[in-house]
Homo-oligomer: A and B are copies of this chain.
Amino acid sequence: MKLINQLSKETGIPIATIRFYEKSGLIKGEKKPGVTTNNYLYYGDDVVEKLRFIQMAKAVGFTLSEIKEVIDAWYLKKISRKAQMDVLELKLVQIEEKIQELKAMKRQIMTCIKNIAAR
């Protein structure tokens, strides 16, 4: 069980940002049962996983609310299996679209580089 400082060091995400993600409902720490002197929050390994996923997803242009949908489908067992599948399969489609867009950009830029080189 990790405290927020360790979480930050493992992921490179600032503590303030992690707190912001927690407030936004993307991750959740828990109070250690039995500890009454403080109200420190502890985080499991799943939270590190989630934070890494957030980093990746943000880097490819997903918003926090889109990311939250995926994380909820992933970890919350509350919603129906079908609803979980729907969210995840939609994300797969969107990921595939982004890959295609990136490949198109790559081709464009490579053409441009060739033009510059041929001058």
Q: Which residues of A contact B (CB under 8 A)?
A: 53, 56-62, 70, 73-74, 81, 84-85, 88-89, 91-92, 95-99, 101-106, 108-110, 112-113, 116-117, 119
Contact = CB atoms under 8 A, between A and B. Distances in A.
A106 B95 contact: yes
B109 A103 contact: no
Contacts of A117: 85
Nearest to A92: B109
A102 B99 contact: yes
Top-3 shortest CB links A-B: A61-B61, A56-B101, A60-B61
Contacts of A58: 61
A109 B88 contact: yes
B56 A112 contact: no
A91 B104 contact: no
18 contacts: A56-B105, A60-B60, A60-B61, A60-B98, A60-B101, A60-B102, A85-B113, A85-B116, A85-B117, A88-B109, A89-B113, A91-B109, A92-B109, A92-B113, A95-B105, A95-B109, A96-B106, A99-B102
